[in-house]
Amino acid sequence: MNCEHFVTKLKYGKPMSDQGKHPKPGDLIEFQRVGYQHWAIYMGDGDVVHLTDQDGKSSISSVMNSSAVVRKDPLEKVAEKDNYRVNNKYDEKRKPLPTEKVLRAALEKVGKRMKYNITTENCEHFVTQLRNGRSFSDQVKNVMTHVTAVATVLLSAFAVFMFIKPITYISLPAIAWRRLLK
């Protein structure tokens, strides 16, 4: 097991290279991209339905778009060289809808343009809405947590700097005054 698989196993409970496990229709498929995850619904016969940019690349640059298209593509084409796995983790939060209903709803959306927003309407929101009847996105929640933490650290550092700076201004003239009096 290499370092990447070890860390992924710690984070997700199993390595992302579970490509040998055959997904069942209606399963959520998580693709590990560089810096983010892409999500799709497995339809059976090696195909997935996913929300992506027009060419189906689901690249990090697609987050700048305000719309996306629902496509049905072969699982292996969507994965390219990236690892993927079945990940129905939201079933713990909300019971999945019947498989037939999930597949029918996914097929009805194929070819349609949809609004896209990285924080509220991304590919993970899309597939969890189909499977669980409610949209979820832990990766958005995780990013927001990290952004909040970084902002807190920066604001704290700024506050400390602003507090120390006046003390320095007060102290330096006092030191200079004492030297003059000697």
Give the residue numbers annotated as catalytic, written as ranges.
38, 50, 123
Strand, helix or coil for residue 19: coil
Cα separations in angstroms, 29 against 16, 32, 87: 11, 10, 6
Pull the structure tokens for residue 156: 């704290």
Q: Which residues pair with 153 in a beta bridge?
A: none
CA pair distance 71, 59, nearest whole angstrom: 15
Contact at 8 Å (CB) between 29 and 23? yes
CA pair distance 155, 159, nearest whole angstrom: 6
β-pairing, 113-115 with 67-74?
antiparallel
Cα separations in angstroms, 1 against 12, 22, 87, 121: 15, 21, 21, 35
